[in-house]
Amino acid sequence: MSINEFFLILLSTVFVNNFVLVQFLGLCPFMGVSNKLESAIGMAGATTFVMTLASVCTYLVDHWILSPLGLEYLRTIAFILVIAAVVQFVKMFMEKTSPLLYRVLGVFLPLITVNCAVLGVALLNTQKTHNFFESTLYGFGGAVGFSLVLVLFSAMRERLAAADVPLPFKGAAIGMITAGLMSLAFMGFTGLAT
């Protein structure tokens, strides 16, 4: 794998095929945790960690257990099992090492379990027949893309909270409109890389 391919995968997952704004995966944390910049950064960090780890684990499970036994049809349920276990482990680890982050993210950690971006990255990895390194990079790149838009979006929403927004658009409505505009902006990256 050349260095070119390396950057191509990163560029493709972060900008061109951004999980949130182009593939529309993981929208609930995108809307739910973006009210405050601090919690968005925490959520971004936790998701990056979980997503990279989950794509590694799911690749190993798929490559060493499911494929040799001809059990490809069990992928979805096996991946859900893997992701749930990984998130639970991260939750225990975080509760011990960073109680404050745990307090902020406590509600959202179970949300990572059912974050469709995490399952999506695992299934897309098998669909695209990535090898181990590519899977890891794909998961990490996807998570970086997710973190990028989450932090950008929460920074915008913090400004929006103080801005003079017309009454019918206040709160979630202006958030949705902003997300739509961001998605349009990210479509400008189409054609940059495939």
Partner 1 sequence: MLELIFQNPIASALIALVGLSLLFGAVLGFAAVRYKVEGNPIVEQIDTILPQTQCGQCGYPGCRPYAQAIVDGDAINKCPPGGQSTINALADLLDVPAPQLDEEHGTESDVKKVAYIREDECIGCTKCIQACPMDAILGAAKQMHTVIADECTGCDLCVEPCPVDCIDMIPVETNLKAWAWELPAPNSIKLIASDRNRHTGEAA
Question: Interface with partner 1 by CB under 8 A: which residues?
Answer: 61, 65-66, 69-71, 74, 77-78, 81-82, 85, 88-89, 92-93, 95-97, 99-100, 103-104, 158, 161-162
Provide, rounded to whole angstroms, the least separation between the CB of residue 102 and partner 1. 8
Closer residue to partner 1, CB minimum distance, 92 or 173? 92
Provide, rounded to whole angstroms, the least separation between the CB of residue 94 and partner 1. 9
Rounded Cα gap, residues 24 and 72, in angstroms: 25
Kindly list the distances between the CA atom of residue 3 and the CA atoms of 6, 9, 45, 171, in Å, as whole numbers in the listed order: 5, 10, 26, 44
Provide, rounded to whole angstroms, the least separation between the CB of residue 168 and partner 1. 17
- Which pair of structure tokens corresponds to residue 41? 């950064």
Provide, rounded to whole angstroms, the least separation between the CB of residue 169 and partner 1. 15
Rounded Cα gap, residues 51 and 80, in angstroms: 13
Closer residue to partner 1, CB minimum distance, 28 or 71? 71
Kindly list the distances between the CA atom of residue 17 and the CA atoms of 6, 7, 41, 99, 173, in Å, as whole numbers in the listed order: 15, 14, 21, 34, 25
